[in-house]
């Protein structure tokens, strides 16, 4: 199962923002991730459908909305913030 939200066109994102996304994938994006496809930056959460529960799905939606909303600031997928 994938929950995804488009964030921006890659051509409109600078190198520092791409680096911030990659760093966030390591310590702030939790289960959601910043990802790229066909010239577009997305927030994405991927989970096996066979073990998906309602709570996992609700968490996925919350985290994807958060990575989109926090792009350009904390790059976090929740209110929790770890790292520098």
pLDDT, one tens digit per residue, over 24-44 is 999 888 899 999 999 999 999
Q: Is residue 34 situated within a structural domain? A: yes
3-class DSSP assignment, residue 57: helix
Model pTM? 0.88
pLDDT greater than 70 at residue 62:
yes
Question: What is the count of structural domains for the chain?
Answer: 1
Instruction: Answer yes or no: is 68 within a domain.
Output: no
Do the domain assignments include residue 31? yes
- Mean pLDDT, the chain, whole residue set: 92
In a domain, 18, yes or no: yes
CB 9 within 8 A of CB 40: yes
Q: With bands split at pLDDT 50, 70 and 90, how would you rate the model's confidence at 78?
A: confident
pLDDT confidence of 60, banded at 50, 70, 90? very high
Q: Is the dihedral of CA 28, 74, 5, 17 positive or negative?
A: negative
Domain that holds residue 20: 2-52
């Amino acid at each position: 199962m994938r929950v995804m939200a488009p964030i921006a066109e890659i051509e409109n994102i600078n190198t520092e923002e791409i680096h911030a996304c990659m760093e966030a994938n390591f310590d702030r994006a939790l289960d959601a991730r910043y990802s790229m496809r066909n010239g577009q930056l997305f927030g994405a959460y991927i989970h096996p459908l066979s073990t998906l529960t309602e709570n996992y799905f609700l968490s996925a939606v919350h985290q994807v909305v958060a990575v989109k909303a926090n792009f350009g600031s904390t790059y976090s997928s929740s209110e929790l913030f770890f790292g520098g």
